[in-house]
A and B are shown apart, each in its own frame.
Chain A
Amino acid sequence: MNNDRYEFITSESHLTFEFQSDGPKGKIKKIVNFRPYNVNGRTYFNLAFGDWNEESARLDDMAVSNNHDTSKILATVAAIALKITEYFPDIAVAASGSSQARTRLYQMAISANLNEIEKALDVYGWYQGSWEPFTRNINYEAFSVKRKQK
C-alpha cells in the first residue's frame, strides 16, 4: 500500500468516511459512503466517492479539484475500502464511476495498491459481460471486492 495517504475519520455507523485533500487549491472535503443494498437476499455495499460542495451543499464527483494529490487520494480510498471490509468482512463492495474517466480513477486506485489489497481482498472487475479476477491494464466497467474468507 502506498503509505502516502490522508488520515480519515468515520461515522458512528462506519458507513461514511471523511478525509481532506490538502494542496494548492486548499482543503477539499472528500467523502466515501457505503450504502447497503440487497440482491437475491444478499447484502452488498455500493461505494460512492465524491467531494463535498459547500455551495450546493451536496456531494458530487464531477469536480476536478486539481489539488496535485491524485495518487494520495487514491491510496486513501483504497485504504478505506480495506477498512470497511474489516468492519463488515462478509459483505461485498461494488463500485463504478459516474463516467468512464471516474471509473478509470477507481481502476488506478486498485492497480496502484493491488499488491496490498490482494493480501486481504478478492478483487473482481466487470469486463465484456462477466466478472473476472482483477488484472492490471484492463479497462473494467465496474469493480467488486470482498474480504478473503479465512
Chain B
Amino acid sequence: MPTRKKLPSKSVTDSHKVRDYSNDPFVLEKGRRMKAFIDKNGLPEAFTKK
C-alpha cells in the first residue's frame, strides 16, 4: 500500500461506507490493460526521475 499523506483539509468526507472496489472485475480488467500498456511504454520520463 502506498504511503498516504495526511491532509488538513476536510473538503472530502471520509466514509467507511464507501467500499473498496479494487477487486471489482471492471477495475481489474482496466488495470490489466493499462499495466500491459505501461509495461510496454513506461510512464512519462519526467515522472520517473528521482
Contacts and interface: CB of A to CB of B under 8 A. Distances in A.
B47 A144 contact: yes
B44 A124 contact: yes
Interface of A: 7-18, 31, 33, 35-37, 39-40, 42-44, 46, 48, 50, 58-61, 83, 86-92, 94-96, 98, 122, 124, 126, 131, 142, 144, 146
Nearest to A37: B35
| A-side interface mostly | strand
Interface of B: 1-5, 7, 9, 11-22, 24-28, 30-31, 33-35, 37-39, 41-48
22 contacts: A9-B18, A10-B13, A11-B16, A12-B20, A16-B22, A35-B31, A39-B38, A40-B42, A58-B26, A59-B21, A83-B12, A86-B9, A87-B5, A87-B7, A90-B3, A92-B47, A94-B43, A122-B47, A131-B41, A131-B42, A131-B43, A131-B44
A21 to B, nearest CB: 16
Task: Give 5 nearest A-B pairs by CB, closest first.
Answer: A59-B26, A131-B44, A11-B18, A124-B44, A48-B30
Contacts of A14: 4, 14
A116 B26 CA distance: 29
Contacts, number: 139
Contacts of B38: 37, 39, 44, 94
A33 B21 CA distance: 7
Contacts of B9: 86
Nearest to A146: B47
Nearest to B17: A9
A16 B20 CA distance: 6
Task: Give the interface centre of B5, B21, B34 by most chain A CB atoms within 10 Å.
Answer: B21
Contacts of A7: 13
A15 to B, nearest CB: 6
Contacts of B15: 9-12, 18
